[in-house]
């Protein structure tokens, strides 16, 4: 199944876990596991977990650099 391309500017300023699932293609448990990973940019509002869009995009770019550096 092919996913539609996501334009970062069209994403909301604060992303939910459902947004992250759609963007990354990861399962719900994997997205929540990621949200609990040290260094992942989350903001908590009570029990709600949100991710600032720009912080997520910077984190994603940094992870790509980490992966490239391992090869």
Structure confidence at residue 7 (pLDDT): 83
CATH code at position 30:
1.10.10
- Total-model pTM: 0.80
Structure confidence at residue 67 (pLDDT): 63
Examine residue 30 and state whether it is found in any structural domain, yes or no.
yes
Q: Which domain holds residue 34?
A: 12-70
Examine residue 6 and state whether it is found in any structural domain, yes or no.
no
The count of structural domains within the chain is 1
Examine residue 3 and state whether it is found in any structural domain, yes or no.
no
pLDDT along the chain (71 residues), means of 10: 70 96 95 96 96 96 75 50
**36: number of Cβ within 10 Å:** 9
Examine residue 41 and state whether it is found in any structural domain, yes or no.
yes
Structure confidence at residue 1 (pLDDT): 45
Examine residue 1 and state whether it is found in any structural domain, yes or no.
no
Structure confidence at residue 42 (pLDDT): 97
Structure confidence at residue 2 (pLDDT): 53
Examine residue 62 and state whether it is found in any structural domain, yes or no.
yes
Structure confidence at residue 30 (pLDDT): 98
Examine residue 59 and state whether it is found in any structural domain, yes or no.
yes
């Amino acid at each position: 199944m092919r996913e539609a391309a996501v334009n970062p500017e069209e994403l909301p300023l604060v992303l939910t876990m459902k947004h992250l699932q759609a963007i990354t293609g990861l399962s719900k448990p994997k997205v929540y596991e990621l949200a609990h990973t040290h260094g992942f940019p989350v903001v908590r509002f009570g029990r709600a977990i949100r991710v600032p869009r720009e912080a997520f995009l910077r984190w994603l770019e940094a992870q790509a650099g980490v992966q490239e550096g391992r090869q």
